[in-house]
Structure 1
Amino acid sequence: MNLKPRKQQLLELLPNALMLTRGPRHSNIRYLTFDDGPDPQHTPPLLDLLAKHGVKASFFLIGEKIEKHPELVRRIVAEGHLIGNHSYSHWEFRNMTLRKQLSEVHRTDALLSAFDQRRHHRVRTPRGYLAAPLLLYFASHRRTFVHWSYDSLDYQPQPVEDLVARLRDQPPACGDIVLMHDDNDMACNALRVLLPEWLADGHRFHALPSGVA
């Protein structure tokens, strides 16, 4: 699971100011990130769990869902988590023009700004899609993408027991940015078991730094 795919190796060559793929390896901090929310069924119990253990995380939110569930975004911010940009519609970026891709990003930035008063937010595109025109635009405008260094695979059909066993056998390492999701209950159910174990082992979990406003 921890063998790096070719894409991951290439992304790690880019500067952190453009592409954040992991945190410092020398720290004892890991970064839980959750895509595809906010979800009225699955986000609240996840927030309850994180609060119970004093863990801060990062939530990459979809614009359409922000509009439908603003109270959840307010709660995420109030409880000290980072909110990030996961596009407005979550459509396939590979099928969009650059102009449409940027519209998805800017529209969601504007929605997020109402909650944290930040003009720009860290961006994770749907399925982590990246292409040269979008990278060049972000580089020229000093914007940052967030990828991940540890894919939990919580989106795959599997018993939660199998997910727990695999993550327990190969836990995230120091500095890892962990990809998870809060549009289903797999991550929450797995973390309900694993977070106490990981914290007891001395692992620490922080929200990602917010970056440039």
Structure 2
Amino acid sequence: MNMRPKKQHWLNLFPDALVQTKGAREGTVRYLTFDDGPDPIYTPPLLDLLAKHGVKASFFLVGQKVEQYPDLVQRILAEGHMLGNHSYSHWSFKRMTTRKKLNEILRTDALLSAFDGRLHHRMRPPHGYVGADILAYFAMRRRTFVYWSYDTLDYQIEPTRELVDRLRADPPLPGEIVLMHDDSDRAREALAVMLPEWLSNGFTFSALPQGAL
């Protein structure tokens, strides 16, 4: 399976200030990112695992869930992880009006601002779809979309063993932004195996920088 989908390559045509697919290429750092949380079942043990290994990550959160589980959002922030915007409802932007898309983004920004005081947050659109209208809006306001360069495919229904085998055979490279999800146990179960191996091999992990307020 291809962990580096070709459909992401065209995004490299955009400047990093608008569309980011990779982080700093120097050194050994990788960037774990988790979409679709927070979740009262899956987020706490995932945070426990990251804390156990001293790993910082980035969580792209759904606004509706931020409202439902504020204590989890506070814990994510308190433990040194980045809070990112993954829209309010997690519905695809593909058939939304521009007004509706902006409402999804700005409403979630406001919710997250109550925790970290930032007016704007790194944004990852649900299902990866943006549209020219929102690209232009972000470009004019110097805001950034965060995509990924390495898709773990952890959303596929398969035994954890297969996911582990794939991660072991083709691990993320320095600077890669790794896509994972926080709405099932698959990411945590795979990382419970892989993080000790990766760290012993000299890998390091960091949260993505938030940038300006």
TM norm structure 1: 0.98
Match of residue 156 from structure 2:
156
Q: Is the 8 A contact 2:3 2:153 kept in 1?
A: no
Q: Is the 8 A contact 2:5 2:151 kept in 1?
A: no
Kindly state the Cα deviation for residue 2 of structure 1 after the two structures are TM-superposed. Answer: 4.2
* Structure 1 unmatched runs, 5+: none
Amino acid of the structure 2 residue aligned with 1:31? Y
Match of residue 95 from structure 1:
95
Rounded Cα–Cα distance in structure 1 between residues aligned with 2:74 and 2:183: 17
Match of residue 104 from structure 2:
104
CA deviations 1:36-56 (Å, max 9, x no partner) are 000000000000000000000
Kindly state the Cα deviation for residue 24 of structure 1 after the two structures are TM-superposed. Answer: 2.2
Kindly state the Cα deviation for residue 35 of structure 1 after the two structures are TM-superposed. Answer: 0.2
Distance 1:3 1:148, change over 3 A: closer
Counterparts of 1:108-127 in structure 2, within 5 Å, are: 108-127=108-127
Rounded Cα–Cα distance in structure 2 between residues aligned with 1:8 and 1:211: 23
Q: Is the 8 A contact 2:4 2:151 kept in 1?
A: no
TM norm structure 2: 0.98
Q: Which runs of 4+ in 1 moved over 6 A?
A: none
Rounded Cα–Cα distance in structure 1 between residues aligned with 2:124 and 2:152: 16
In the comparison of the two structures, how many residue pairs are matched?
Answer: 212
Amino acid of the structure 2 residue aligned with 1:135? L
Match of residue 177 from structure 1:
177
Rounded Cα–Cα distance in structure 1 between residues aligned with 2:15 and 2:80: 27
Q: Residue 127 of structure 1 aligns to a residue in which SS?
A: helix
Q: Identity over the aligned pairs, expressed in percent? A: 64
Q: Residue 12 of structure 1 aligns to a residue in which SS?
A: helix
Kindly state the Cα deviation for residue 95 of structure 1 after the two structures are TM-superposed. Answer: 1.2
Match of residue 41 from structure 1:
41
Rounded Cα–Cα distance in structure 1 between residues aligned with 2:37 and 2:187: 13
CA deviations 1:122-163 (Å, max 9, x no partner) are 000001112111101100011110000000000001000000
Counterparts of 1:1-213 in structure 2, within 5 Å, are: 1-5=2-6, 7-213=7-213
Cα RMSD (Å):
0.8
Kindly state the Cα deviation for residue 4 of structure 1 after the two structures are TM-superposed. Answer: 4.0
